[in-house]
């Protein structure tokens, strides 16, 4: 039995568009490709694959980030699916339970080629439902000049939550500048930011079909959020993570957690900065982070499922994928270890924290209604940072609300 599709409200408005005329031909794999243009590396490998598969053609359709997943969903629900599409891995469970995509099982050798826990981002019920194509992690950035002004060692980043909170407090009290940038806007990355804290304390939200968010590990993360809020940017609910990053780039906050893109921007500023693994909570087993992947999903009913799986695995195989990830400015955390990745990190050591956090990182929790889950976590965070609820009470409430979305 399929469950009601809820993740992409409003997608059906596209049904009247000319997109419905774009049907997959017998020898064509149509690909909804998110972004502004096709990456030249993908163009190169599409031609290579076509050259080895006579009679087959891969036809990418470039669709803007805000519309691409809606379009893939609309076509699938209408019974006119594309061969494959670029989607957030967080949505794979919902697609699968609505019988819109087919499994993309991996061999043990394929699984072993990835960094630890990556395959978990596309797996539920012991089956893989997509092929990872893009990956991001987070690390801690700090402003060395603000550390020095506050009487802290500018070359030493906090290694634990306790140190992070203490450093933020000292920066705020000694310099009058916010010590930490905590985003809590009604925005998806508010949930992402909190999950980094959950995974740096060995916590979980869901285990199989069991909600386990109401745990000592997650409670400690929520309490740490409450404790650091007084020393953070004022009015946390007004900011999402990119707005917090902008404040850091302006030199007006001591520490933030952000992706590799911040490093690229910082290199163009005069800020004296450092980057380190995310600080750890008391129950941590090692450096962690939220593992966010996007995937290629193969849609059911296109008539080219088998060949689409073959192509999806080819375009994300170590050679093409490694070249795509490690090109200048791509800003993607590598999905697999390799000598080329080692060379890449040696040439730019700022990448090391983003890879070190993978070993004990965790995937975006897979829910049947991902947006429902996301909204519960945002409300959880906002209720605590605004002082409307105590962490234990807020967590218990969230655990109950999540039952309907698992």
Residues 379-389 have pLDDT tens digits of 999 999 999 99
Mean pLDDT computed over 310-333: 89
**Residue at 391 is within a domain:** yes
Band (pLDDT 50/70/90 cuts) for residue 209 is confident
Band (pLDDT 50/70/90 cuts) for residue 328 is low
What pLDDT is recorded for position 330? Answer: 61
Whether 322 and 351 share a structural domain: yes
Whether 118 and 185 share a structural domain: no
Whether 116 and 236 share a structural domain: no
Give the rounded percent of residues in the chain with a pLDDT score beyond 90. 89
Calpha distance 122→296 (Å, rounded): 10
**Residue at 2 is within a domain:** no
**Is 310's pLDDT higher than 80?**
yes
> For the packed helices 391-402 and 370-385, what is the interaxial angle rounded to 10 degrees?
170
Q: What is the average pLDDT value for the chain, to the nearest integer?
A: 92
**Is 167's pLDDT higher than 50?**
yes
**Residue at 157 is within a domain:** yes
* Last residue within a domain, chosen from 345, 362, 379: 362
Whether 345 and 382 share a structural domain: no
**Residue at 327 is within a domain:** yes
**Is 6's pLDDT higher than 70?**
no
C-alpha dihedral, 352 to 358 to 360 to 365, nearest 10°: 140
Per-residue pLDDT tens over the stretch 123-137: 999 999 999 999 999
Whether 111 and 169 share a structural domain: no
Give me the domain span that covers residue 214: 139-288+367-405
Band (pLDDT 50/70/90 cuts) for residue 5 is low
Whether 150 and 190 share a structural domain: yes
Chain-centroid distance of CA 191 in Å reads: 10
Whether 253 and 309 share a structural domain: no
**Is 102's pLDDT higher than 50?**
yes
**Is 18's pLDDT higher than 80?**
no
**Is 360's pLDDT higher than 60?**
yes
**Residue at 26 is within a domain:** yes
Whether 259 and 381 share a structural domain: yes
Chain-centroid distance of CA 204 in Å reads: 16
Whether 260 and 329 share a structural domain: no
Calpha distance 255→141 (Å, rounded): 6
**Residue at 1 is within a domain:** no
Residue 150, domain CATH: 3.40.190.10
> In which residue are the tokens 């997109």 written?
19
Calpha distance 101→73 (Å, rounded): 10
Whether 145 and 268 share a structural domain: yes
**Residue at 45 is within a domain:** yes
Calpha distance 293→213 (Å, rounded): 22
- The torsion angles phi and psi of 136, rounded to 5 degrees, stand at -140, 150
Number of domains composing the chain = 2
Give the rounded percent of residues in the chain with a pLDDT score beyond 70. 93
**Residue at 155 is within a domain:** yes
97 Cβ contact partners less than 8 Å away, ≥ 6 residues apart: 2, 3, 368
Cα distances (Å, whole numbers) of residue 386 to 166, 185, 229: 20, 11, 9
Whether 334 and 399 share a structural domain: no
Whether 195 and 265 share a structural domain: yes
What pLDDT is recorded for position 22? Answer: 42
What pLDDT is recorded for position 7? Answer: 44
What pLDDT is recorded for position 150? Answer: 98
Mean pLDDT computed over 83-93: 95
Calpha distance 14→80 (Å, rounded): 13
């Amino acid at each position: 039995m399929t469950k009601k599709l809820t993740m992409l409200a409003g997608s059906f408005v596209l049904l009247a568009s000319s997109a419905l005329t774009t049907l997959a031909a017998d020898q064509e794999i149509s690909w909804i490709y998110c972004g502004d243009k096709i990456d030249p590396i993908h163009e190169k490998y599409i031609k290579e694959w076509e050259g080895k598969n006579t009679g087959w053609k891969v036809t990418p359709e470039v669709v803007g980030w805000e519309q691409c997943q809606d379009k893939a969903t609309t076509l699938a629900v209408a019974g006119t699916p594309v061969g494959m599409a670029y989607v957030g891995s967080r949505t794979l469970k919902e697609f699968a339970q609505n019988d819109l995509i087919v499994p993309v099982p991996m061999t043990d050798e394929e699984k072993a080629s990835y960094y630890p826990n990556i395959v978990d981002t596309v797996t539920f019920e012991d089956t893989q439902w997509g092929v990872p194509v893009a990956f991001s992690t987070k690390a801690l950035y700090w402003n060395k000049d603000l550390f020095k002004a506050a009487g802290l060692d500018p070359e030493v980043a906090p290694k634990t939550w306790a140190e992070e909170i203490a450093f933020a407090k000292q920066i705020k009290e000694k310099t009058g500048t916010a010590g930490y940038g905590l985003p809590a806007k009604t925005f998806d990355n508010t949930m992402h930011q909190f999950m980094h804290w959950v995974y740096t304390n060995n916590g979980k939200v869901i285990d199989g079909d069991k909600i386990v968010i109401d745990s000592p590990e997650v409670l400690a993360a929520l309490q740490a959020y409450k404790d650091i809020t007084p020393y953070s940017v004022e009015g946390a609910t007004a900011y999402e993570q990119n707005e917090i990053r902008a404040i850091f780039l302006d030199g007006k906050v001591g520490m933030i957690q952000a992706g590799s893109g911040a490093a690229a921007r910082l290199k163009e500023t005069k800020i004296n900065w450092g980057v380190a693994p995310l600080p750890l909570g008391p129950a941590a087993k090692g450096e962690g982070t939220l593992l966010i992947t996007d995937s290629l999903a193969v849609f059911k009913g296109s008539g080219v499922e088998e060949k689409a799986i073959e192509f999806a695995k080819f375009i994300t195989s170590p050679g093409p994928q490694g070249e795509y990830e490690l090109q200048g400015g791509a800003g993607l955390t590598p999905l697999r270890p390799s000598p080329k990745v080692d060379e890449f990190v040696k040439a730019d050591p700022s990448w090391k924290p983003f890879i070190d956090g993978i070993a004990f990182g965790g995937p975006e929790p897979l829910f049947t209604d991902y947006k429902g889950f996301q909204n519960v976590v945002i409300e959880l965070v906002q209720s605590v940072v605004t002082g409307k609820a105590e962490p234990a009470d807020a967590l218990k409430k969230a655990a109950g609300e999540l039952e309907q979305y698992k």
